[in-house]
Structure formats: structure tokens, C-alpha cells
Amino acid sequence: MVNMIGSLIMGVSLYHQNENFKAFWAVGFLGSLTTFSGLAADLLKYYESKEFSLMFVYGLSSLILGCFLIWIGQKLASF
């Protein structure tokens, strides 16, 4: 969930023209908030327990939803 919220905020922050603003939010705050190490640990746990379908669905949905929320964030910021 943190990665998804971070993706939405990332989309909003990337819309802004100010490079310092983008650097602070995208690299600084969001970089520390949304590490994908938790995602990788969960995927490994599913792999080790042979829950391959859950591993695939969780990994793919996290990636797709994250990208979608960045796009939504950019659209929201443009209003």
C-alpha cells in the first residue's frame, strides 16, 4: 500500500517544473518511503512456499498499479 500511495504522490510531484521540488519529493521523501525491498521479500516468500500464481499476480499487479497511480497523480496535478 505504501508503494501505491508513493506512486500517486510521485506522479503529482513529477508534474511540477521546479527541479528542486521534484528532487526533494521524488528522490528524497518518496525514495525513502517507497522502497521495493518489501515487495521483493514478499515475492521471495511466495516463491519459497511454491505459491507461484500468487507471486505472479502480486508482483504484476504492484507494478501495473504503481505505474497507473503515477499517471493518475500527474493528471491530478495538471488540474
Q: What is the mean pLDDT of each run of 10 residues along the chain (79 residues)?
A: 80 78 76 72 90 96 91 89
At residue 12, the pLDDT reads 80
DSSP line for 32-70:
HH--SHHHHHHHHHHHHTT-HHHHHHHHHHHHHHHHHHH
Q: Decide: 46 and 54 in contact? Cβ < 8 Å.
A: yes
At residue 56, the pLDDT reads 97
